Amino acid sequence: MSAAIKFSKESFIARHRITVKAGKEQPVNIYGKVFACTEASGPFEMNFAEQAWFPCRKGIEWSLVGDDHYNKLSFRAPVDTQVEFYGGNFFWHENVVIPIIQHARTITVPWQQTSLAASASVDFLTVPSGMSWRKSIIVTNNDASVDLEVYARDPAVPANWYSCGLVFAKQAWYHETSDALRLVNPSAAAVNCRVLEAFYLA
């Protein structure tokens, strides 16, 4: 049989919950070298070994160096403050990952037409009901020889539109924007094309 593993009685950690009364010193008799405050209703100060007071708050962690240990911790605060902490001769740190960014759901909306008439244009600026704003747009030019033009609206003068890109023949054009866009057919014949917009759900 394998020998039983023995641990020193000093290898421990203990959790304490205390209420530090306003303007009064709150001593806690505990032996150790590490400290970690997991909860605190407000800022507080503490000391050990009758040394200088130092400010603390929720989340603070510290450890004495070398063979130094404390046998009493003292707390004080300007108002009644609840403090929860761990103290002793070892401490573990648990990483808790909280997602703060989530992928937003989108829905694709195809253009109801399959061609753009000769010398015509179409504006893409309407957000369908139940959606918030456009994520992206794809224009596919199925014509073998005509390039379609893309216009952007002047943010300072919305009535003005400026040419800003081309959808080359037999190619697709992709752009991420929620702003208004205009598609223009500069030729004297209709152009076979497709448009697909992706919108964020409201």
Confidence (pLDDT) at 193: 97
pLDDT of residue 1 exceeding 80, the answer is: no
Q: Residue 88 carries which side chain, given as an amino acid letter?
A: G
Confidence (pLDDT) at 202: 82
**The domain made up of 13-88 is a member of CATH 2.60.120.10:** yes
Give mean pLDDT, residues 154-175.
94
Query: Distance (Å, rounded) from C-alpha 92 to C-alpha 149?
Result: 62
Q: For the chain, what are the domain ranges?
A: 13-88, 106-201
5-30 as b/e: b if 16+ CB within 10 A: eeeeeeeeeeeeebebeeeeebebeb
Write out pLDDT tens, residues 74-112.
Answer: 999 999 999 999 998 876 666 666 555 566 789 999 999
Confidence (pLDDT) at 65: 86
Percent of the chain with pLDDT over 90: 68
Query: Distance (Å, rounded) from C-alpha 144 to C-alpha 170?
Result: 6
Q: Tell me, yes or no, if the two domains 13-88 and 106-201 fold the same way.
A: yes
Confidence (pLDDT) at 19: 96
Query: Distance (Å, rounded) from C-alpha 195 to C-alpha 111?
Result: 5
Q: Which CATH class is domain 106-201?
A: mainly beta
Are residues 87 and 32 in contact, defined by beta-carbon separation less than 8 angstroms?
yes
Query: Distance (Å, rounded) from C-alpha 150 to C-alpha 123?
Result: 10
Give mean pLDDT, residues 17-26.
94
Average pLDDT, the chain: 88
Query: Distance (Å, rounded) from C-alpha 69 to C-alpha 11?
Result: 12
66-85 as b/e: b if 16+ CB within 10 A: eeeebeebbbbbeeebebeb
